[in-house]
Amino acid sequence: MSARSQKRAFGVAAGLPAEVCGPLAETCEEAGYAAIFSNDHPGAKGLETLAEFARTTESIDLGVGVIALDRQGPETIAADIERLGLDPSRLWIGVGAGFSKKPLTYMREILPELREYLPGIKLAMAAMGPKMCALAGSSYDGAFFNWMTPDFAAGAREQVQDGAAEARHSAPPVLGYVRTAVGEDAEARLAKEESFYRDLHKGYRDHFDRLGEPEGTVGVAAADSAAAQEGLAAYSALDMIVVRGLTSARVEPMTELARAAAP
């Protein structure tokens, strides 16, 4: 790929304890990460985790990847941002169709409402298949990948670029989670995380079928920092690698992993 500036972010599961969020966010900002992300799930709101990150940082971007719009609509997201006092200029809001029956149509039709309620906020659309990648490229501020190998991500990036070209504008940045575990039990941690997602719903089942990779191999499982850096470097198709840290939700393991995978 041609030389371009690649950024790196760190990602966690929503609901990370507040006493962990502060030190982790400080570590990420000091280590040179461009952003820190939280996912969003029925048990915890990612935006609330971002509010904890915001308390101890000044400039690092804050992102949610991703909010399922069938659970939380644009009006609710906007109200949460205001309630939590989050700075819109620092936000990446990743959005996805969730369990919508017609996800492509849904994500196309809801975009004007997202723009209305979330002005000035960078919107990244969750994309896996070719049509969703093309829609992200044509209409959103970014495409957000999940559970991809480096080669698959490169192909999906081309689909984002094709969508942008059809819409006659430059392609938006491509962001993506790369599950990362470092240490003696790294392979087991990656396999456990992956096994949950492989059968989460039809969209994921279809995606992993397209990947055709052995279970427990999609991501980076490394013995040490050097091996982790080598594995992450393979994801050259991403404009922003979001290192999804797989470790226990305590200060020391989280900050150690963040340092090991730092840019």
Give the tens place of pLDDT for each residue, 147-156: 999 999 999 9
Q: What tokens were used for 81?
A: 């941002």
The predicted structure's pLDDT at residue 200: 85
What contacts 263, CB < 8 A, 6 or more positions away? 7, 8, 31, 32, 33, 34
**Interaxial angle between packed helices 46-55 and 74-84, expressed in degrees from 0 to 180 and rounded to the nearest 10:** 20
Please say whether the beta carbons of 154 and 237 come within 8 A: yes
The rounded distance, in Å, linking the Cα atoms of 208 and 189 is 18
The rounded distance, in Å, linking the Cα atoms of 230 and 177 is 16
Give, for 174, the enclosing helix (H) or strand (E).
strand 174-182
Mean pLDDT in residue range 146-170: 98
**What residue ranges define each of the domains in the chain, with the CATH number in brackets?**
7-260 (3.20.20.30)
Read off the amino acid at residue 247.
T
**DSSP assignment of 60-82:** SEEEEEEEETTTS-HHHHHHHHH
> Residue holding tokens 């620092």?
90
Q: How confident is the model at residue 2 (pLDDT cuts 50, 70, 90)?
A: very low
Percent of the chain with pLDDT over 70: 98
Q: What is the pTM of this model?
A: 0.96
The rounded distance, in Å, linking the Cα atoms of 203 and 124 is 18
pLDDT, tens digit, 9 for 90 and up, residues 76-90: 999 999 999 999 999
The predicted structure's pLDDT at residue 130: 95
Mean pLDDT of the chain: 96
Please say whether the beta carbons of 60 and 36 come within 8 A: yes
What contacts 2, CB < 8 A, 6 or more positions away? none
Q: How confident is the model at residue 1 (pLDDT cuts 50, 70, 90)?
A: very low
Q: Nearest Cα to 64, choosing from 99, 90, 103?
A: 90
The predicted structure's pLDDT at residue 99: 87
The predicted structure's pLDDT at residue 202: 83
The predicted structure's pLDDT at residue 32: 97
Read off the amino acid at residue 35.
A
